[in-house]
């Protein structure tokens, strides 16, 4: 999706972890490809092992696809010299027919924290909060957010439950549980997500000249806030 191609989101709430959400760029592909070498990650994300060339092709395809939105999750903990790429958060959209025959926009959301050192910091929770709030701001016609979770993945089921998702379907043949937040029937959930963007500052991502650091992490540059962005957050990492 091109809408977020230069958008950086950073939580400015006092109780948020130090993190950034940045658009998926070519400089992130190598690290992502390395993650997919882990069979367990591929199982949990229902992913296939691709060649590096195929991963670069996917990055271009996702960027152009209006039905997909991806942010890379960056851990900006002070222990690191620069924010580190540790996961991603994605949305895939589709149109579903409602009971009255109307077409409703459904956004399937998923999150992955691939680096063990960045687990249990709240990054997945905040990545989902930021992604859903941002997506609703650019697609206010969104009717539902949906999550599809393997029934053995108790941690993810608990995560989505804390964010207000409720189960609406089980697919034993795929070992999946489907959960959702219905924005049409749940006015409080809709209002909560509309208000969530107040907890985030927005900046502009510039990847020109981005390099790869000595530990394999992609370099990046974050510009000053653009005119339509919120005010500067004191937690900004340049």
* Distances from the Cα of 14 to the Cα of 10, 82, 143, 189, angstroms: 12, 20, 30, 22
| Residue range 229-235: mean pLDDT, rounded | 42
Contact 69, 4 (CB under 8 A): yes
Q: What is the pLDDT of residues 71-105, one digit of tens each?
A: 999 999 988 888 999 999 999 999 998 877 889 99
Number of domains in the chain: 1
CATH at residue 129: 3.40.630.30
Domain carrying residue 207: 7-215
Euclidean distance between CA atoms 113 and 83, whole angstroms:
14
Can you give the pLDDT at residue 1?
81
Can you give the pLDDT at residue 211?
53
Can you give the pLDDT at residue 44?
79
| Residue range 22-51: mean pLDDT, rounded | 92
Contact 32, 51 (CB under 8 A): no
- Phi (first) and psi of residue 24, to 5 degrees: -75, 115
In a domain, 204, yes or no: yes
Contacts of 215 (CB under 8 A, 6+ apart): none
In a domain, 98, yes or no: yes
Q: What is the pLDDT of residues 163-221, one digit of tens each?
A: 999 999 999 999 999 999 999 999 999 999 999 999 999 999 876 545 555 466 776 55
| Residue range 217-231: mean pLDDT, rounded | 52
In a domain, 189, yes or no: yes
Contact 135, 153 (CB under 8 A): no
Question: Helix, strand, coil shares of the chain as percentages rounded to 5?
Answer: 30, 30, 35
Q: What is the pLDDT of residues 129-166, one digit of tens each?
A: 999 999 999 999 999 999 999 999 999 999 999 999 99
Euclidean distance between CA atoms 89 and 70, whole angstroms:
6
The chain-wide mean pLDDT, for the chain, equals 88
In a domain, 235, yes or no: no
In a domain, 200, yes or no: yes
State the first-to-last Cα distance of the chain, in angstroms, to the nearest integer: 25
In a domain, 237, yes or no: no
In a domain, 234, yes or no: no
Q: Is residue 54 predicted with pLDDT exceeding 70?
A: yes
Q: What is the pLDDT of residues 109-120, one digit of tens each?
A: 999 999 999 999
Can you give the pLDDT at residue 102?
86
In the chain, count H helices and then E strands: 6, 10
In a domain, 106, yes or no: yes
């Amino acid at each position: 999706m091109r809408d977020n191609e230069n958008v950086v989101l950073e939580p400015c709430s006092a109780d948020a972890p130090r993190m950034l959400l940045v658009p998926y760029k070519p400089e992130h592909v190598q690290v992502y490809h390395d993650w997919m070498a882990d069979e367990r990650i591929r199982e949990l994300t229902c992913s296939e092992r691709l060649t590096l060339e195929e991963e670069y092709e996917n990055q271009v395809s996702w960027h152009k696809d209006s039905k997909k939105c991806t942010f890379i999750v960056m851990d900006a903990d002070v222990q690191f010299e620069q924010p580190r790429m540790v996961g991603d958060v994605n949305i895939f959209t589709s149109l579903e027919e409602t009971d009255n025959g109307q077409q409703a926009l459904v956004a399937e959301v998923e999150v992955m924290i691939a680096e063990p050192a960045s687990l249990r910091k709240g990054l997945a929770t905040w990545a989902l909060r930021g992604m859903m709030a941002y997506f609703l701001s650019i697609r206010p016609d969104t009717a539902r957010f949906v999550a599809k979770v393997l029934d053995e993945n108790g941690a993810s089921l608990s995560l989505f439950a804390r964010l207000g998702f409720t189960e609406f379907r089980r697919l034993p043949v795929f070992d999946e549980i489907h959960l959702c937040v219905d924005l049409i029937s749940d006015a409080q959930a809709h209002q909560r997500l509309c208000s969530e963007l107040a907890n985030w500052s927005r900046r502009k991502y510039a990847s020109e000249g981005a390099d790869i650091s000595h530990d394999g992490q992609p370099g990046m540059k974050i510009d000053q806030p653009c005119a339509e962005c919120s005010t500067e957050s004191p937690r900004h990492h340049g």
